[in-house]
Amino acid sequence: MDSSWANPSFLSLDLGVGLLPSPGQASVRERGSVLVEGSSSTKEEARLASAQFGDLEAKLNRISEENKRLSAMVSDMLTDCVALSGGVPALPKRKRIETRTPGDDDPCKRAIAYPMPNTSKAYVRFDPKNTSMVVKDGHRWRKYGQKVTRDNPFPRAYFRCSFAPSCPAKKKVQRSAEDGSMLVATYEGEHNHKHLAEDEVSVGGIPCRPLQQRFEEQESPGFHRILVEQMASSLTKDPSFTAAIAAAISETLLQRAPVPN
DNA sequence: CGCTTTTGACCTGCGC
DNA sequence: GCGCAGGTCAAAAGCG
């Protein structure tokens, strides 16, 4: 069985897709602009505006409820995955042969050169104009190969940790076949040294949080909080969501401002 | 000059 | 055994 299934990290943090915007956002924006442009002091219009405000409030509540529901779903899925991984017998600890020396070609030695079992995936948004496929996650990586794979038209880049020569950490970065604006970073192995710069984390100029979500971290109590933070963070990056919120706020301010005589 | 990236060749595992 | 695909190596080029 593929260990990635036993590892809940396959639930990569693809939070920029699918959750929002909600169907109501466009109308929220439209109504907001109508209100700003056509403000009037007549009672009829005030009554209409009040009704629209109530409508908007209801919509915001619905969106908020949807967010809560989705958060709960993600939490449930994580719980399920952790439970599932508990039922899977632990894979034997495997060790990769670091480097090959001329006398190292013993096929018996190579036979035990397995990949690291503790892999994790991270789905991250990146600037499509940026073709470097660099995912800054606080570690220094050295690219050692690139390959076009069968299941994806985009090339896959192979990186090794260059901070410490003995560090077994590796990662593969490839653009998503479904969504070209997403990068799929697959981490293998663990760093045997300290993080370089935890706070310097960005993807193609778009700031984001450290992406490496290891199995142990996902079981930790802080993981769910991080998950929620990432969801909130991704929502705030959504321009349409921001616009809808801005329209709703401006509408609210207009409603509560004293009507000039 | 040292480090990183590029890229073609090579190695290995797997399915047929 | 053969071919294919994924992963890695290593020399050359690029860059600061």
pLDDT in single tens digits along all 261 residues of chain A: 333 333 333 333 333 333 333 333 333 333 333 333 334 445 666 666 677 767 777 777 776 777 677 656 655 555 554 444 443 433 333 333 333 333 333 333 333 333 344 677 777 766 655 555 666 667 788 888 899 888 888 889 999 887 776 788 888 888 887 777 778 888 887 777 665 544 334 443 333 334 344 444 444 444 444 444 454 444 444 444 445 555 555 555 555 544 444
Chain A span 163-202 residues with beta carbon within 7 Å of strand C = 170, 172
Closest residue (Cα, C1') to C4: A150
Q: Which of A168, A193, A160 is nearest to A114 (CA)?
A: A168
Residue A199 is predicted with a pLDDT of: 39
Total residues belonging to chain A: 261
Residue A45 is predicted with a pLDDT of: 63
Strands A201-203 and A155-161: unpaired
Residue A70 is predicted with a pLDDT of: 64
Residue A250 is predicted with a pLDDT of: 56
Residue A67 is predicted with a pLDDT of: 66
Query: Shortest CA–C1' contact from A188: which nucleotide?
Result: C7
Measure Cα distances from A174 to A92, A133, A136, A146, A261 in Å. 28, 7, 14, 10, 61
**What is the three-class DSSP state of A58?**
helix
Cα gap A240→A63, rounded to integer Å: 13
A144 touches strand C (CB under 7 A): yes
Residue A65 is predicted with a pLDDT of: 75
User: Residue A45 has which token pair?
Assistant: 């219009």
Residue A88 is predicted with a pLDDT of: 41
Q: Which of A75, A216, A193 is nearest to A139 (CA)?
A: A193
A145 touches strand C (CB under 7 A): yes
A94 touches strand B (CB under 7 A): no
Residues A238/A121/A78/A124 CA torsion (nearest 10 deg): 0
User: Residue A99 has which token pair?
Assistant: 């480097």
Q: What are phi and psi of A240, to 5 degrees?
A: -70, -35
Q: Which of A69, A196, A190, A202 is nearest to A135 (CA)?
A: A202
Which pTM value belongs to this model?
0.47
Contact A125, A193 (CB under 8 A): no
